[in-house]
A and B are shown apart, each in its own frame.
Chain A
Amino acid sequence: MPRNEYQSELAALRADVVSMSELVAERLQMALTALEDSDEVLADRVITGDSDINQLYLELEKRCTDLIALQQPVAGDLRFIAASFKIITDLERIADLATNLGGYAKRAENNVFPSVDIQRLGEETLSMLSLAMEAYETRDRGLCYAVDERDDDLDALCEVASDTVVRELIESDRADDEIEAFMADVSRFLLTIRDLERIGDHAVNIAARSLYMIENNDELLY
């Protein structure tokens, strides 16, 4: 097959984008564990490790621009590189949101809202990310649509969780000296839920770009 080196570079790019996603998923899992266990050390590792992800992102971005500039890709190759270019941005943003979760974990005292299952939301986002990347890696159009459908469930779960937090805030009869700390917990919880919901949106973006890559279909982009 002609252009062997070019084909090898495309294959390596695909493998390295998948590797980046595995690293991002690992950081997200660490952030969720830090939240669950109020583990500051683990949370710090997520926060300080974000620079590695940023570095990886910039390196992959450069490889995409180099391929475009030097190899003039067209057709399926062009869609693959364009999709990869966008997907690494979503992965980098997911890592940023994991860093946010690490920050919330450091400020957490106790689980003041036992009825809100943050871990369940987190597991859902991890699962969506995994599915979206499988769609990208294996070029599976069905998985792209599956991720999009899963996002509706995640949004519903997040809405219920937010409502629960707000209801408990309204119904709270805490004393004045406790209310400030309680308000901080409320906002931290709401931000946690919002960030998890956004991670789901990034997973959908990845699925949407993968569908475009696979069959030039922009249906999920809108």
Chain B
Amino acid sequence: MSEPESSVDTTEESVSSPTPGTAAAAQSGLDTGARAAEPIIKSRGIDVFYGDQQALRDITMDIPEKRVTALIGPSGCGKSTFLRCINRMNDLIPAARVEGELLFSEKNVYDDDVDPVALRRKIGMVFQQPNPFPKSIYDNVAYGLKIQGYEGDLDARVEEALRGAALWDEVKDQLDSSGLDLSGGQQQRLCIARAIAPDPEVILMDEPASALDPVATSQIEDLISDISEEFTVVIVTHNMQQAARISDKTAVFLTGGELVEFNDTEKIFENPSNQRVEDYITGKFG
């Protein structure tokens, strides 16, 4: 496969080089080696069209494994569209058409032999509005496992997922209560527990904290950092400070569906290479 050329600015700590895992490591330019950083997702010249309208243009980037990658940009720039390309959620939109290659563990997810449902078990998703099923807390988490025909210890797995989502201590005595009875922040953590229960490799998050208050937001942010020890997280956020706080890498999309700069988050927010990115993140437009 040939590597398509890209105009994306990835100067200095290039996406193709080993990716520093922490701010300190990024500063020293060293890879601590403590956490793997090989790309798990490779986008190669992805174009997306909604009918005649082109929503994404030639997106080429590598998303590192077990890191948090933030996608930021003004409304309509295509960042959510790109997120949805990763687990083929755009298949659900009849007019949507995807061109190019989206490699997950080196396999193009748009190949004919890929089952989107199976793919989404590997690449889970958390949405902007918490959307628990109208079922018990327990069943919300166990639901996906049951569908998969999980044969292990279901109770243990549910507890593990709820602990992983930092919710267990708050709900362990009310597992039979409805998930809808929880607060907004708890509901979102329940959705995260539901997403991590089938043990996916990647979790996509589309503005997961934008409907939450500051305390619940900070709990979700802490949780994202924690789960990135085990999972690759790709998050779309309108909150640039949130991207700066929680992500290792940041991709900046600008109007027209263009990926303008992709680099270490520290680099993006301290000294971006691209003037349009500087203007966007300092609020001069957008």
Residues of chain A whose beta carbon lies under 8 Å from any beta carbon of chain B = 1-3, 6-7, 72-79, 216
Contacts and interface: CB of A to CB of B under 8 A. Distances in A.
B270 A1 contact: no
A214 to B, nearest CB: 11
A216 B271 contact: yes
Ranked nearest first, the 5 interchain pairs of A and B with the lowest CB-CB distance are A216-B271, A3-B283, A74-B269, A77-B282, A75-B278
Interface in B233-286: 240-241, 244, 269-272, 278, 281-286
Contacts of B240: 72, 74
Nearest to B283: A3
| Interface range for B | 10 to 19
24 contacts: A1-B284, A1-B285, A2-B283, A2-B284, A2-B285, A2-B286, A3-B282, A3-B283, A72-B240, A74-B240, A74-B269, A74-B270, A74-B281, A74-B282, A75-B271, A75-B272, A75-B278, A76-B271, A77-B282, A78-B269, A78-B270, A79-B271, A216-B270, A216-B271
A128 B201 CA distance: 58
B215 to A, nearest CB: 19
A7 B284 CA distance: 9
A76 B282 contact: yes
A6 B283 contact: yes
Given A79-B270, A216-B270, A216-B271, A74 B244 contact: yes
B284 A75 contact: no
B278 A76 contact: yes
B56 to A, nearest CB: 25
Nearest to A217: B271
B50 to A, nearest CB: 27
Contacts of A73: 282
A41 B116 CA distance: 86
A78 B278 CA distance: 11
B285 A75 contact: no
A3 B283 CA distance: 6
Contacts of A216: 270-271
A73 B244 CA distance: 11
Contacts of B271: 75-76, 79, 216
A191 B241 CA distance: 48
B283 A75 contact: no
A198 B284 CA distance: 39
